[in-house]
Structure 1
Amino acid sequence: MRKSIAPAERLAITLRYLGTGCSFEDFELSYHRGATTARKIVQETCQLIWNYLKAVCIPEPTQDMWKEIASGFLQNTNFPNCLGAIDGKHIRIIHPFDTGSLYFNYKKFFSIVLLATCDSNLLFTFVDVGAYGKASDSTIFRESELCNKIHRNTLNIPSPRQVGNRQPLNYTFVGDEAFGLSENMMRPYAGKYLDLDKKVFNYRLSRARRCIECTFGVLANKWRILHRPLNTSVHFSEDIVKACCILHNFIRKRDGFNFRHTLKIVGLENIQNTGWPVTRASTARDTLKDYFMYEGAIPWQENRI
């Protein structure tokens, strides 16, 4: 029997495929491996990367980890009580056989959806891959494991914390208009003709939410396979995206990701929880709106709206 392909070579083939976006036929010349062999190697290695490194690179957050993430958002984006930014990214794929328009999205191409949350250092904290391209972000979120854990109260979210001199507010994720307003989800005010304080709130929320947009950008530019349609089966495409997310966190933790924010942060005093009753989601958004206009204001906010 001929010698088996060494693990180092299998990993090298996988990293080259993910990092360059080449085709499987390219490995016939560079590694002297057939396209079918290279395809099988990449699929098996991506599955192993997800199974063995998920608990290390994207662990289940504890209360202390959530508080550390919220502290990072407060320092880097001036948004208090933020558990992470959430959004969906459409991963382009070749039209799967016999699936109709399930994977055809509003951008007029076929895709699967990567729903993810991140912290202020552009590290993924939750990923959900494989939803139909035609589905909206809100629908995908409602059917995701993250939403189920929030509803079952098993996500280890810390107890409400006081913001400035105001009553305690829940820790929340920040998203765009596609997500509904709830106790643990904050979204911007809708409409074009808004008052100044609502425009300021939308800007401040956008500063925190853009972290997930930057994370997707770093992910796609590091793993350039995501720059072209994935010419694989849907399950194989899911394995590729999951492996890219794991490797994204692995490299950022290895190479370092912390940065020193140069802007002056205003009104970030840590005031102890007084035990006041927690407000409803809409009232919490209004409370944050008033906070951003007064003790939580930043000097340049009215120039950015």
Structure 2
Amino acid sequence: MDTPWRKAISPQRRLILTLRYLATGASQLHIGFSFRVGHTTVGMIIRECCSVLWECLVPIVLRPPTAEDWLQIADDFQKFWQCSNCIGAIDGKHIRIKAPPNSGTEFYNYKGFFSIVLLAICDAHYRFVLVDIGDSGRHSDGGIFSNSRVGKKFDKGSLSIPAPNSLAGSDINVPYYFAADDAFPLKTGIVKPYPGRHLSEDKQIFNYRLSRGRRVVENAFGILAVRWQVFYKMMNCDPEMAQCIVQACVVLHNFLQSPRQVGSHIYGDQFDGNGNTVNGNWRQTIPSTVNMDSLGHIGSNFYSRYAGFYRDELKKYFLKDGAVAWQWSR
């Protein structure tokens, strides 16, 4: 509020200051000099504005998916990435933060630095569908997905995921699934590649086809970091504020990645008619080192008979009814 000595900082100026910080990754001290605002005031404004951005934009760009939303996502994955029944790509990142005072090893991960975890599921257009932000880095050696809010809802079957359905152009019936990498456990509803290097041709083709759908989440993280360069270096703040910053960047990413934003598609990878990868703009602009590290192995090597059966059924589908012309040369 205004005082007899000075006027209050307007909401517009607060938003501009926060966006400048998120987009450039400049220090709060530098932002303070640029806007002629005290250092502590800058930190307070960023924290408050990021919280407001999250609260206001979540109902618009990150609302919980309904059964109809999952079906639309599945249609998009089939149309753009030829992954039938896939309803999202899942991955996670460690976000490096300054060592919190008196926290011991709570946020210290197995890679040797302090971090919070960003776990995300993305749709076929590089938009975040579900996220879990703020888990401490020490849980990186196991159970991140199972202990997350997203993982608990998945295990309870409360994500409104539709019942199993036949794959496109086939009578093979499998559950809708998330495409994951080797770090995640193989479950009914989570499909990851076959492990090993010397694989048979059919398994190599399956891994290639699955990677086409899984790479969208890699693209989403890359686009997120390029647009919001606060991820380029360690966040010099407490875990609570780091969580607010990541939350704001996630909802702003979804807003900018929406179909109505012209040119939003050029940031992500594309494929031509022969299955060749056309790298997105984010790969050309992102630095070699980014403050976002991949998760380690977060699941058991043991899996249920049903999970293995459904992966084998997908493999059969990719080799026959769901085959694409260029997969044999990959």
> Does TM, scored on the shorter chain, surpass 0.5?
yes
Alignment pair present for 1:291 and 2:317: yes
Q: What are the ranges of 5 or more consecutive residues in structure 1 without an aligned counterpart?
A: 266-278
- SS of 2:231's partner is helix
Provide the residue aligned with 2:288 in structure 1: none
Structure 2 match to 1:271: none
Matched residue, 1:115: 119
Secondary structure class of the residue paired with 1:173: strand
The list of structure 1 runs, each at least 4 consecutive aligned residues, that deviate by more than 3 angstroms after superposition, is: 256-262
Please list, as runs of the form range in 1=range in 2, the aligned pairs for 1:1-305 lying within 5 A after superposition: 1=3, 2-136=6-140, 139-163=143-167, 164-253=169-258, 254-256=260-262, 257=264, 262-263=272-273, 280-304=306-330
Q: Which amino acid aligns with 2:161?
A: I
Aligned AA for 1:66?
W
Aligned-partner SS, 1:300: helix
Shift of 1:137: 7.6
AA aligned opposite 2:319: M
The amino acid of 1:225's aligned partner reads: V
Give the residue type in structure 1 aligned to 2:314.
Answer: L
Distance 1:82 1:215 in 2: 17
**Length-normalised TM-score, structure 2:** 0.83
Identity of aligned residues (%): 42
- Describe the SS at the equivalent of 1:40: helix
**SS of residue in 2 equivalent to 1:255:** coil
Q: Under a length normalisation based on structure 1, what TM-score does the superposition of the two structures give?
A: 0.90
Deviation string, structure 1 residues 183-219 (Cα, Å, up to 9, x no partner): 2111111222221111111111111111100000000
Shift of 1:157: 0.8
In structure 2, what residue type is equivalent to 1:192? R
Q: Taking structure 1 as reference, are residues 300 and 107 closer, same or farther at Cα in structure 2, changes over 3 Å only?
A: farther
Unaligned runs of 5+ in 2: 276-304
1-structure distance, mates of 2:31, 2:324:
53
Aligned residues: 291
1:300 partner amino acid? W
What is the one-letter code of the residue matched to 2:181? Answer: D
**SS of residue in 2 equivalent to 1:280:** helix
Preserved contact between residue 57 and residue 251 of structure 2 (Cα < 8 Å): yes
Query: Corresponding residue for 1:273?
Result: none
Secondary structure of the corresponding residue to residue 214 of structure 2: helix
Q: What letter matches 1:292 in structure 2?
A: F
Deviation at 1:283, TM superposition (A): 1.0
Cα offsets for 1:53-111 (capped at 9, x unmatched): 11111011111111111111111111110110000011111122222333233433322
Q: Is the CA contact 2:110–2:140 (under 8 Å) kept in the aligned structure 1?
A: no
8 Å contact from structure 2 (residues 87, 177) kept in 1: yes
Instruction: Using the TM superposition, give the Cα deviation of residue 127 of structure 1 relative to its aligned residue in structure 2, in angstroms.
Output: 1.0
